[in-house]
Amino acid sequence: MQMKANQIAEDQRLEIRNYLDLDHREEMMRLVGEGLSAEPKWLHCKYLYDQRGSELFDEICQTREYYPTRTEMAIVERYAREIMDFFALGGGDLVEMGSGSNQKVRQLLDALPSRSLERLRYVPFDISESALVDAARELLDIYPRLNVMGIVGDYTRHLAALPSGRKLLVFFGSTLGNFNEQEGLELLKGVASAMNPHDRFLLGLDMVKPVEVLEAAYNDSQGVTESFLKNILAHLNRELGADFPLEHFQHKAFFNAQRECMEMHLQARQELTCRIDDLGLETRFTPGETIHVEIARKFTPDGAKQMLRQAGLAPTRWFSDEQGWFSLVELARVG
Ligand SMILES: C[S@@+](CC[C@H](N)C(=O)[O-])C[C@H]1O[C@@H](n2cnc3c(N)ncnc32)[C@H](O)[C@@H]1O
């Protein structure tokens, strides 16, 4: 499918295509209206990410309690060469979905001799425009031989923007866990159908582990996760003329054992009425009422294998840490 995009930056080594300008606002208005009119209330977690949201996510990754980033980075560090062997066999694109800052891709790029960087193009794909542009420019400074083609888009809607040629896709951070089962499966199927038989897809999955470790990771002692979650309200205040008083909400994160996921909510401390001007909507909260903002599913090896099979993906290699806390699964399309 041909998709329209606005070209927002171009020089010899950097091209950025923006797919969001076209219909992002309408989609935001629709989803926010639906979520705040529902019982119980919810907001889509992709709206956690604006410039500030991306910064706060990076801060979360540095907290003592947030084990996923360090665990995944240790795995990437250990296996980066093997992963990047993909580019020993030929050139192509290194596509990073939900790219955020450059931490993990730098580990991969550092595993290649600098002359090999001419053979690949890095393609970050993220909804947070300013974070993507800043990260892309930083990479160009660090790797003078690298070319970058950034996609500012929503991977729930713009997968057709993925490059069609030979590629290694990476999806770090267990971001797949932010989708429920059905949506996650849809996303994986979409990626599988964008893959050629020789393409590979490296998927980060956070695994089930003791509940104290999980709950501590999403309730850090510095309150960064709380600020991150509340940023969704600040984002709506700015984008949709809403008046959510951030100080009247608190963050609640707990493990739902039945669904094997962390749930993140914002809870009203008192009775409130908030307006979202651009939607002409007024939304009332009783004391203690919550907005469900995000889930972070935790996977088991068997559950992950079943999900991948259903999506038409087959593991070619399975990298993990010694405790089995995190998995990086390299996948090929089936058939
Ligand atoms: C959990 S963070 C992970 C960041 C980084 N990959 C890592 O592993 O640390 C999720 C990233 O996905 C991006 N993102 C969230 N929803 C998205 C969507 N629907 N489409 C594209 N990017 C999205 C966010 O802006 C953010 O950079």
Residues of the domain holding 99? 15-23+55-210+299-333
Q: What is the per-residue pLDDT for 12?
A: 83
Beta bridge partners of 18: 6, 152
Task: List pocket residues of ligand 1, CB cut-off 6 Å.
Answer: 46, 49, 54, 57, 61, 69, 98-100, 104, 126-128, 154-156, 172-173, 175
If pLDDT is split at 50, 70 and 90, which confidence band does 3 have? low
Residue with CA at minimum distance from ligand 1 atom 24: 98
d(CA 8, CA 250): 37
Q: How many domains does the chain have?
A: 2
CA angle 179, 63, 291 (to 5 degrees): 40
If pLDDT is split at 50, 70 and 90, which confidence band does 21 have? confident
| Same-domain pairing of 223 and 244 | yes
If pLDDT is split at 50, 70 and 90, which confidence band does 4 have? low
d(CA 59, CA 49): 13
| Same-domain pairing of 263 and 205 | no
Distance 58 CA to ligand 1 centre (A): 11
User: Residue range 89-110: average pLDDT?
Assistant: 96
Nearest atom, ligand 1, residue 171 CA: 6
| Same-domain pairing of 240 and 289 | yes
pLDDT at residue 282 greater than cutoff 50? yes
Mutate to test the pocket of ligand 1, among 19, 58, 127, 151 (most ligand atoms within 8 A of CB): 127
| Same-domain pairing of 178 and 317 | yes
| Same-domain pairing of 158 and 218 | no
Residue with CA at minimum distance from ligand 1 atom 16: 46
State how far the alpha carbon of 50 is from the alpha carbons of 87, 113, 129, 132, 272, in Å. Answer: 33, 34, 8, 11, 25
Q: What is the per-residue pLDDT for 1?
A: 46
**Domain presence at residue 7:** no
User: Residue range 296-324: average pLDDT?
Assistant: 98
Q: Is 168 helix (H, G, I), strand (E, B) or coil?
A: strand
| Same-domain pairing of 201 and 288 | no
Amino acid identity, position 268: A
Q: What is the per-residue pLDDT for 114?
A: 87
Q: What is the per-residue pLDDT for 6?
A: 67
User: Residue range 283-305: average pLDDT?
Assistant: 98
Mutate to test the pocket of ligand 1, among 59, 94, 175 (most ligand atoms within 8 A of CB): 175
Mutate to test the pocket of ligand 1, among 28, 49, 154, 297 (most ligand atoms within 8 A of CB): 49
**Domain presence at residue 4:** no
If pLDDT is split at 50, 70 and 90, which confidence band does 9 have? low
- The sign of the torsion formed by the CA atoms of 226, 229, 231, 234 equals negative
Residue with CA at minimum distance from ligand 1 atom 19: 154
Kindly report the CATH number assigned to the domain that includes residue 200: 3.40.50.150
**Domain presence at residue 1:** no
pLDDT at residue 2 greater than cutoff 60? no
**Domain presence at residue 9:** no
Distance 175 CA to ligand 1 centre (A): 7
241-252, pLDDT tens digit by residue? 999 999 999 999
Number of residues that make up the chain: 335
Residue with CA at minimum distance from ligand 1 atom 10: 98
Residue with CA at minimum distance from ligand 1 atom 9: 173
| Same-domain pairing of 197 and 218 | no
Amino acid identity, position 307: M
Run of H or E including 27? helix 24-37
Of 4-13, 175-184, 276-285, minimum mean pLDDT range: 4-13
| Same-domain pairing of 77 and 102 | yes
Residue with CA at minimum distance from ligand 1 atom 3: 173
User: What does the mean pLDDT of the chain come to?
Assistant: 95
Q: What is the per-residue pLDDT for 212?
A: 98
User: Residue range 185-199: average pLDDT?
Assistant: 98
Amino acid identity, position 78: R
132-176, pLDDT tens digit by residue? 999 999 999 999 999 999 999 999 999 999 999 999 999 999 999
Contacts of 82 (CB under 8 A, 6+ apart): 317
When computed from its CA atoms, the radius of gyration of the chain, rounded to whole angstroms, is 20
| Same-domain pairing of 157 and 215 | no
| Same-domain pairing of 323 and 200 | yes
| Same-domain pairing of 277 and 167 | no
53-83, pLDDT tens digit by residue? 999 999 999 999 999 999 999 999 999 999 9
Residue with CA at minimum distance from ligand 1 atom 8: 173
